[in-house]
Chains A and B, each alone.
Chain A
Amino acid sequence: MIPFTIRFEPRERLSRWINIWVPVAAIVLALVIAGAVLAVSGHNPFTTYQQIIQAAFTQPGAFTQTLVSTTPLLFTGLAAAVAFRMRIWNIGAEGQLYLGSIAAAGVGLYLQSLPAPIVVLAMMVSGAIAGSLWAAIPGTLRAYFNTNEILTSLFLNYVADYLMYYLIFDSTSFWRDLTSPAARVFPQGKTLAASGNWPALTIFTIAVPLGLIVAVGVSGLLWGMIRGTRYGFEMRVMGDAPRAASHAGMNIRRKIISIMFVSGAVAGLGGASQVGDFRHVLDPRGLEQAQFGYTGIVVAALARYNPISAILAALGIGVLTNAGLALQGPNFPIGLTGTMEGILLFCVLGSEIFARYHVRVHRTRKPLAAHRAGQVRPAAPAAAPVEMALTGGGEQAS
């Protein structure tokens, strides 16, 4: 028999400090474990960490690159956070982002002769609408037929993926480039004209993409909405106690659909930003490999579904992604960067349990005599409560 038992005892209250030192301790622990993995695989942990800092921050252009990684993650992270907050498990930010890209690329190409500001705005609006309509499908199914939105939104990701591939690889669609020499060798999308390239704001040497500015703005809007509007109040009630929400006369169905709309719109904006800020083309392979939608779920979890914290969380994951890309090389296999990321996320997300519970190890002693019905002991002098630490009363009373 195992000589000890581990018990998780809920903490009576969550102090502010625990919310700070637990994540910090988790990051330190992750660095130690990842360092050990690095050392075993023949890398010097210290130089590796130094490289990470260089690749993410200090090298010329490094921070700009970090922001490039951060931007889509903030969109998808926010998309997940607003829905999850209401306990609507929209796993479909991936597909909603694809749809946003398709729409924004289409509109950008179609309107390319118009002035740039109009084109940029039209791309944003169309991306948001496409994402929200795509998200409304699982939302409506959930609201009216109580289908599991986790599954439906997930499966729609695959549908969106195939749709993207179809447009570029398997058809002669409006999105596909059929004229350039390169496109004859390998199918690819039409490149947007300059009018569809979103401008970046350059601060010192750092280029801040327009999409990131929009995303930060959306964070603030969502935060204000949750705190200060009727709509946000309904979100909070529904997230806390759905039955109380319906008792209070909230229309749960309409609310589920509308929150999926909002969530999908944010993810769709992320898709538009991919086309407008960075790729300037509908790029099925690139988007599929990036998996922004799924990583967004991690961002939302790290941020505890708070739209403002999501900015930090997205930046953190952005740093990791970017550093991982920079580290990769013949000596540094992609699996190793993935392992390091995994260790970090595991530690940070897993540490939640320490914030919520006391973890206690008890030595197992012999169990109390088995009790049988029919012979209920008339209270014999209480047997010493063996499982507990016996302490002297005087000492305790102090």
Chain B
Amino acid sequence: MTDTAPAAASPALAARSVTKRFRGVVANDRVDFEVAAGEVHALLGENGAGKTTLCNVLTGLYRPEEGYVEIGGKAVRMHSPHDAHEAGIFMVHQQFRLVQSLSVAENVVLGWTRHGGTWFAPRRVEPEVAALAEQYGMDVAPQAKIWQLSVGEQQRVEILKALYRGARILIMDEPTSVLTPQEVDQLVATLRAMARSGSAVVFISHKLPEVLAVSDRITVLRSGRTVGTVDTAATSAEALAHMMVGRDVVFGDHAAAHHAGGEVVLKLEGLCAENDMGTPALVDVGLDVHAGEILGIAGVAGNGQRELAEVIAGERPRTGGSVTIAGKSQQGRPWEAIDTGLGYVPEDRMGVGVAPGLSITDNLRLKNYRRGGTILRNKKATEEAEELIRRFDIVARGPRTLARELSGGNLQKLIVARELSSGAKVLVVSSPTRGLDVGATESVRTLLADSARRGVAVVLISEDLDEIFELADRIAVLYRGRVTGVLNRGEADVDRIGLMMAGEVAA
């Protein structure tokens, strides 16, 4: 990076030997971390390494048991995020906190009492919001209502909210996991602009290329401890992977041919459906998925992927067409799809894929508890859960840990573990490696390829073209709810698919 941070006398924000424990888990173990004004500082580490916990300490959401937080060289004790906001520290969470029915400008000023008078005058601030957006190269209209915006645009509103409130330190926890590649580029530009203007940015991501592109320095955590801080210019993806895992990471190749060409186990014909707003989201979608193949669904977010998955799973009513799973025509009920052999990793995790207040054991048996009798067999379920925790390397105290206590990536592992171990004939997986660290991403991809090899038909919905190219035998492109083409991997190249995703060419 050209504008490397000056090693100023005192860092803008620092954690000094911070220890944070949860019942039986040391999430942060004497962690040291500093971020200077004018730099983008990346936090790296495996799932459950303690990154989110550290950020929550830095923003006053958690109080550390030992150690302290330093702002501008002064030790402080924060009691709530409110205190952090007063000091100009803001965090953009993965779950956005926006009011859907209000405009961008309204959301920006909402709940902020320092914007002048008592009266709520969002109209007046629209020009200011627009200017702020422009200054940082963010493309978003202040008058637009939140529900009209894409996920990437909503994230920009969150950043604007922080900037408007005088953020000098911005913390972003896995901001890119929900973004399209283009949106990632925009975000990187915005964060660099913030650093140039003297702000400090903390950035978490599991994708090493992004981290290398955006950051000035990188701090690596492993099992709650600081491994070290390095200058981005002086490191490489391999070196970082080594620091995170503590050994060399081998990247496998999943390209080995699956025995494609089996019988059709998932058949979609003339499928039509509407989105939540009641406008058509799927138009006449027809696809055949064969046993033993992985069909990748490529497309820019919001082109019908969510609706497609939900209709197949019977969780969204269809307005036309038919779904046939393993030869059985579906009426469109979730239990019917599960019983005929559908495994499904949904796009929404918390509250849909898992029940946050229930234990790991309960969440793991969510889809097969019906196979037993009226009386639950708790002991057997616990044993099975322990087995899956081991096999999928879920970092948790034990099977009784509540799902909401899991780190983001381990929650994802839980869902993947349940669906991949269910013995399904058809798997529909939506961004299966979202939020997973490098190692877990590898093993989930291997498992998906193995499933296909065993004769499962896999539908892989992902915005990550690399993932699709790595795994899929055939690639279907969704654009505005239509399948604009299905290509064999051999005849597909990234540019062609990219153009199809943008609606510019047909297959």
Contacts and interface: CB of A to CB of B under 8 A. Distances in A.
B198 A371 contact: no
B411 interface: no
A3 interface: no
B334 A13 contact: no
Given A248-B367, A382-B168, A384-B74, A373 B355 contact: no
B328 to A, nearest CB: 15
B259 interface: no
A240 B86 contact: no
A245 B165 CA distance: 39
Contacts of A379: 12, 37-38, 168, 198-200
Nearest to B348: A243
> Interface of chain A, helix or strand or loop or mixed?
loop
A142 interface: no
A382 B355 contact: no
B213 interface: no
Interface string B195-229: 00111100000000000000000000000000000
A250 interface: yes
Interface in B163-215: 163-166, 168, 197-200
B41 to A, nearest CB: 14
Contacts of A397: 16-17, 66-68
A7 B16 CA distance: 27
A230 B377 CA distance: 9
Given A246-B334, A386-B86, A9 B80 contact: yes
Interface stretch (B127-135, B265-273, B444-452): B127-135
Interface residues of B, number: 77
B79 A9 contact: yes
B261 interface: no
Contact of A373 (B86, B132, B338, B346): B132
A378 interface: yes
Contacts of B373: 230
B370 A230 contact: yes
A377 B129 contact: no
B143 to A, nearest CB: 16
B22 interface: yes
A129 B12 CA distance: 68
A245 B353 CA distance: 9
A221 B199 CA distance: 60
A205 interface: no
A396 B200 contact: no
Contacts of B135: 373-374, 376
A77 to B, nearest CB: 23
Nearest to B62: A12
A132 to B, nearest CB: 19
A166 interface: no
Counting chain A residues whose Cβ lies within 8 A of the other chain, the interface size class is 35 or more
Nearest to A396: B68
B287 to A, nearest CB: 22
Contact of B358 (A228, A236, A370, A377): A236
Nearest to A251: B335
A186 B355 CA distance: 57
A323 to B, nearest CB: 37
Contact of B82 (A7, A13, A391): A7
Contacts of A335: none
B378 interface: yes
B257 interface: no
B376 A389 contact: no
Contact of A247 (B16, B73, B83, B346): B346
A7 B362 contact: no
B75 A396 contact: yes
Nearest to A360: B79
A46 interface: no
A240 B73 CA distance: 43
Contact of B374 (A231, A246, A382): A231
Q: What 7 pairs across the A-B complex have the smallest Cβ distances?
A: A382-B72, A249-B335, A378-B198, A371-B166, A373-B128, A385-B87, A379-B37
Interface of A: 7, 9, 12-13, 228-233, 236-237, 240-241, 243-251, 358, 360, 367-368, 370-374, 376-379, 381-393, 396-397
7 contacts: A241-B354, A247-B353, A247-B366, A371-B166, A376-B197, A390-B75, A393-B70
